[in-house]
Amino acid sequence: VVTNNHVIEGADEITIIMADQTEFTAQLLGRDPKADLAVLKFDPKDKDLLVASWGNSDLLRVGDWTIAIGNPLGLGGTVTAGIVSAISRDIGGGPYVKFIQTDASINRGNSGGPLFNIQGEIIGINTAIISQTGGSVGLGFAIPSNSAKKIVSQLIEFGRTKRGWLGVEITTVTKDIAESLGLPDTRGAFVSSLNLEGPSKKAGIQAGDIILKFNNIDVNRMIDLPRLVGESDIGSLAKVEVWRKNEILAIEVKLGELPE
């Protein structure tokens, strides 16, 4: 069972309650506070279970219909519908997840529940709302299924998430930095310092470089880079494109593992 980390955080006992009120005791397989995900395990004994299948969140478009199922305010089995309001939304919940925004009604208690497409596939895990009142105002946020799938498989296998590591400290590229380095715009991530034991230092990346691309994907904003690196495989060779002294350099970096 996949849920949010904040749903089970600090729990001494975790109980799975089915739609017919059958109860099972669950154990925690692993959790990832950075992405707010947790995986539970329980023995259904002789009960037949239907399993919901993952969908491909990369295929989502703004305007697609979504269906949320959850336990808002203790009203279990509540279904709401809406559309995808935005994709890849940054709501300040850390650099490792970009959220799907939906206007399907999501309230306290919906956390950890699925967001479906109209094919009945899970394309998100409902996680957060933005609301001045604490109730639904049509601003609900879900972790995309493609981000969740990789994290979930690692939590099942290792009990924790293993993320790629570049070993750089980065800041936003301001207009002043861009002008001083001859960049035409403020995209990218400015390398302010390097971990002396990190992969980037060994590969030749320097403080003062601006990382423009990671594995051929544009780094439009500084916050894009940690997610791209974190989702990459440890030990893989990453192609990093940097701006240095008015020219673009391609540097290969063998990624390490992000320290806890």
Q: Which residues contact 40 (CB under 8 A, 6 or more apart)?
A: 1, 2, 3, 8, 14, 16, 26, 27, 28, 29
DSSP state of 153: H
CA distance 45 to 81: 33
111 is catalytic: yes
CA distance 5 to 32: 7
CA distance 52 to 122: 7
Catalytic residue among 6, 64, 90, 131: 6
Q: Which residue in 80, 78, 96 sits closest to 88, CA to CA?
A: 96
Q: Which residues contact 163 (CB under 8 A, 6 or more apart)?
A: 96, 229, 230, 231, 234, 257, 258
CA distance 51 to 23: 17
57 is catalytic: no
Catalytic residue among 57, 85, 105, 111: 111
48 is catalytic: no
> What are the backbone angles phi and psi of residue 177, rounded to the nearest 5°?
-65, -45
Q: Which residues belong to the active site?
A: 6, 36, 111
